[in-house]
Amino acid sequence: SQKIEQNSEALNIQEGKTATLTCNYTNYSPAYLQWYRQDPGRGPVFLLLIRENEKEKRKERLKVTFDTTLKQSLFHITASQPADSATYLCAPMNRDDKIIFGKGTRLHILP
């Protein structure tokens, strides 16, 4: 069955450093991969989408890579800030409607 693994349940990063979150997937050949942010008690918020033929995508302090050979995506936040503390969800997508979310990684940026 399709499986998504996101690195460690929680990640603590010092403010100003780069946070790197990992998403690995198996039994899957996604055409796209999305990253969402979720704050406690709130709905997920779309951050970035990367297609299978793109290696890297950037948006402000965010960078996503997509390696279809390794079946992995990396999500980077540079110059991290306490406001970046949240759970980040990886969501590989086929060419259909549904999003299958990973469990997420809780990121804590320490001041």
Q: Which is nearer to other proteins, 98 or 111 (CB)?
A: 98
Considering the complex, what minimum distance in angstroms separates the CB of residue 22 from other proteins? 16
**Helices and strands: H and E segment counts in the chain:** 0, 10
Residue 14: CB atoms within 10 Å: 10
Q: Which is nearer to other proteins, 20 or 38 (CB)?
A: 38
Q: Which is nearer to other proteins, 3 or 17 (CB)?
A: 3
Considering the complex, what minimum distance in angstroms separates the CB of residue 67 from other proteins? 18
Q: Binding residues for other proteins, per CB under 8 A?
A: 31-32, 34, 38, 41-46, 49, 51, 89, 93, 96-104
CB-CB contact of 108 with 10 (8 Å):
yes
| Gap between the Cα atoms of 22 and 89, Å rounded | 10
